């Protein structure tokens, strides 16, 4: 395993992050999530591989992911050996502090997350989405306050427009509050829109990207004809709002991944992750695992070196599209 610093901070993280949306009570969230018993081998494997950066969220399994992750830390490793990240914003209930990023929500949700995780602090606390209904200064001051209270060590953001992130970061810096050190954004071979504005902003700010869905829900990890994934619900080709997760033109990208993987004699997932990892603003792709080979391939990607010709072939097939993760 390789390790790196998250942004300009001193926080050291593994270069592969364990995405914990895969774990939870299926009756309280997505039906494909693994319960604690089924997830046990993956947690043990992550520890054995040196994957010390674990990312979850309050909304994953409506809290059940955090409970499973907290139990796993106590059973399979030590709290001091894990960089633990969680998030707030999405609705956890009907109360005024159970969604969004208001001061009340930040204060209520960090305490609820700490209770479920069974710890007195999280290393990285992230706003899951931009909250248009709360003043930016209110959110950033509240996040600063939970840092000063010792409940949170660092803060990050996720999945928003670059101008929104810039305004939040500016509010923190102007008022002497804690700034973001990370941006959890959607980035893969078939979703590269962050390269246009967000990545240059992150480089200028000294903030790391920790991409989610770096394998595009598995689309770039298997031949094009096998692109369907169990993560889908009514339509596995669209997000919950019915927007496409991939377009027909992406077949050319997947075919290039398949060819390059064959030439390197490695799995397609290793090529796709090696491409993500080579971007200098990326610290640690977040890999959601439901099978043992998912983590093995992710770690093996650290040893894959893509040639300039490989990169050119992968880059040339990309077709611009609208991001799918904004409301």
Is there a catalytic annotation at residue 318? no
158 Cβ contact list (under 8 Å, min separation 6): 87, 126, 127, 128, 129, 183, 184, 185, 212
Dihedral (C-alpha) 192, 194, 200, 205: value to the nearest 10 degrees? -140
Contact between 295 and 43 under an 8 Å Cβ cutoff? The reply is no
Beta bridge partners of 191: 188
Contact between 250 and 221 under an 8 Å Cβ cutoff? The reply is no
Dihedral (C-alpha) 38, 72, 53, 27: value to the nearest 10 degrees? 50
Closest by Cα among 164, 197, 66 to 122: 66
Token readout for 38 is 């089924």
Pairing outcome for strands 83-88 and 53-55: parallel
Contact between 57 and 86 under an 8 Å Cβ cutoff? The reply is yes
With b meaning 16 or more CB within 10 Å and e meaning fewer, what string describes 234-257? eeebeeeeeeebbeeebbbbbebb
Distance CA 69, CA 76 (A): 10
Task: Report helix, strand or coil for 157.
Answer: strand
Q: Which of 3, 60, 121, 318 is catalytic?
A: 60
E strands, 27-169, where? 53-55, 83-88, 122-127, 152-158
Contact between 302 and 14 under an 8 Å Cβ cutoff? The reply is no
Give the dihedral sign, CA 134/102/96/28.
positive
- Return the active site residues: 60
């Amino acid at each position: 395993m390789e390790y790196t610093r998250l942004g300009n901070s001193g926080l050291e993280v593994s270069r592969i992050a364990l995405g914990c949306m895969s774990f939870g009570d299926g009756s309280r969230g997505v039906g494909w999530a693994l319960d604690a018993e089924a997830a046990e081998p993956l947690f043990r494997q992550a520890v054995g591989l040196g994957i010390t950066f674990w990312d979850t969220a309050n909304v994953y399994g409506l809290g059940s992911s955090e409970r499973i992750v907290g139990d796993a830390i106590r059973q399979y490793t030590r709290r001091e050996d894990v960089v633990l990240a969680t998030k707030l914003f999405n609705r956890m209930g009907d109360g005024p502090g159970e969604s969004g990023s208001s001061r009340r929500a930040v204060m209520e949700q960090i305490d609820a997350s700490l209770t479920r995780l069974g710890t007195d602090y999280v290393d990285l606390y992230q706003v899951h989405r931009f909250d248009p209904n709360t003043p930016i200064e209110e959110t950033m001051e509240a996040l600063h306050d939970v840092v000063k209270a010792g409940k949170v060590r660092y803060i990050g953001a996720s999945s928003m427009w670059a101008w929104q992130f810039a305004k939040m970061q500016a509010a923190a810096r102007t008022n002497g509050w804690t700034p973001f050190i990370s941006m959890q954004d959607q980035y893969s071979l078939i979703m590269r829109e962050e390269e246009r504005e967000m990545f240059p902003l992150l480089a200028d700010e000294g903030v790391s990207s920790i991409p989610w869905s770096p394998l595009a829900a598995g689309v770039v990890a298997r031949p094009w004809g096998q692109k369907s994934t169990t993560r889908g619900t009514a339509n596995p080709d669209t997000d919950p709002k019915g927007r496409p997760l991939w377009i027909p033109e992406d077949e050319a990208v997947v075919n290039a991944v398949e060819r390059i993987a064959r030439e390197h004699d490695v799995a397609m997932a290793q090529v796709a992750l090696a491409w993500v990892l080579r971007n200098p603003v990326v610290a640690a792709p977040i890999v959601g695992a439901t099978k043992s080979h998912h983590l093995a391939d992710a770690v093996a990607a650290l040893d894959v070196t893509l040639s300039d010709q490989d990169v050119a072939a992968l880059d040339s097939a990309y077709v611009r599209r609208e991001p799918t993760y904004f409301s």
